[in-house]
Amino acid sequence: MDTGPADFPVAERAARVLDSAPVGRRYHRLLLDAPDLSARSRPGQFFHLLCRDAGGQGPYLRRPMSIWRCGPDQPLGFLFHVKGRGTAALAALRAGDRLSMVGPLGQGFVLAPDWRRILILARGVGLATLAPLTEAAAARGIAVRAVLSAQDPADLMQAEFAGASGAAITAVFDSDGGSAVPAVEALLRQDVAQARPDAVFTCGSNRLFMLLQRLAAEQGIPGQIALEQQMGCGLGMCFCCVRQVRGEDGTVQNLRVCTEGPVFDLQAALAW
């Protein structure tokens, strides 16, 4: 199935793997030859990947995977934590193998044309979701300041996050206490005081999300969050990924992360 962007901007494709390699201790990257899908993908969107190895073996359900690399003339990339049968099957793929995927899916990040500076707060593999935002911002002349949180330096994927964006990055770690909420809050407050961002973005940690939500509300800074959730179909039909989100009138609504999200207004999202 491939109806094309004129009819329905989602395609099922068996794309050829260009590169498959481990990243750090627990992560893996895939780059796929799918130029048309890459060109029409947006930071914050995702694909549903069929997690089977080259021999066709593996779990039957697809896995939602946020886009790590995308854009015109770029391979379509995914960066993920290898922690179960599905992701292990994806990590077993090699260059030349084919991967079945459906996408691009969901609502991505939005960059306003008058923004000049943004702040990103990411934890763990959540930085893969936010990575394409850095390059999209840089392409528009928007300066990127990022605080990346990880268990220890061996888990930090700074180069994979920044790409060619030139983002200014500070890393904080569990191993030395730098990633504790009070320490991160002090760092963010200093950043905001020195160079107030036009918007803030986050993914990957509930505690850091709540911190950024509180700080952004206090400072009157708009923001966006990419929510993580299990998804059965990725198309909005199964209602497996429903999360509570605050509407503009203050009432709580049950919305599908795969369709109405995964990117939501920072102040609308509720903790999980």
CATH (domain of 172): 3.40.50.80
State the pLDDT at residue 55.
64
Model confidence at 2, pLDDT cuts 50, 70, 90, reads very low
Please indicate, yes or no, if residue 170 is contained in any of the structural domains.
yes
pLDDT of residue 233 exceeding 90: no
Give the mean pLDDT of 61-88: 91
Q: What is the pTM of this model?
A: 0.91
- pLDDT tens digit sequence for 111-124: 999 999 999 999 98
Model confidence at 11, pLDDT cuts 50, 70, 90, reads confident
Same domain, 48 and 122: no
Give the mean pLDDT of 128-147: 94
State the pLDDT at residue 19.
96
State the pLDDT at residue 224.
97
What distance in Å separates the CA atoms of residue 176 and residue 63, rounded to the nearest whole number? 33
Please indicate, yes or no, if residue 128 is contained in any of the structural domains.
yes
* Domain's final residue, options 85, 105, 125: 105
Please indicate, yes or no, if residue 89 is contained in any of the structural domains.
yes
Q: Residue 271: which domain range?
A: 227-272
State the pLDDT at residue 3.
37
Region of 56 (left: φ > 0; alpha: ψ -120 to 50; beta: rest) is: left
Q: How many domains does the chain have?
A: 3
Please indicate, yes or no, if residue 51 is contained in any of the structural domains.
yes
CATH (domain of 68): 2.40.30.10
* Domain's final residue, options 78, 105, 132: 105
pLDDT of residue 5 exceeding 80: no
- SS percent in the chain: helix, strand, coil, step 5: 25, 35, 45
What distance in Å separates the CA atoms of residue 123 and residue 142, rounded to the nearest whole number? 22
Structure tokens of 255?
């919305």
Please indicate, yes or no, if residue 3 is contained in any of the structural domains.
no
Give the mean pLDDT of 61-80: 92
Q: Considering the chain, what is the average pLDDT of its residues?
A: 89
- pLDDT tens digit sequence for 174-214: 988 999 999 999 999 999 999 999 999 999 899 999 999 99
Q: Is 39 exposed, middle or buried (0-12, 13-18, 19+ CB in 10 A)?
A: middle
Contact by Cβ (8 Å): 63, 152: no
Same domain, 167 and 199: yes
CATH (domain of 238): 2.10.240.10
Give the mean pLDDT of 255-267: 92
Model confidence at 54, pLDDT cuts 50, 70, 90, reads low
Same domain, 173 and 147: yes
pLDDT of residue 58 exceeding 80: no
Model confidence at 170, pLDDT cuts 50, 70, 90, reads very high
Same domain, 233 and 213: no
Please indicate, yes or no, if residue 111 is contained in any of the structural domains.
no
Contact by Cβ (8 Å): 48, 64: yes
Tell me the CB-side half-sphere exposure of residue 194, using CA atoms within 13 A.
Answer: 8
Rounded percentage of the chain residues whose pLDDT exceeds 90 = 63
Same domain, 76 and 145: no
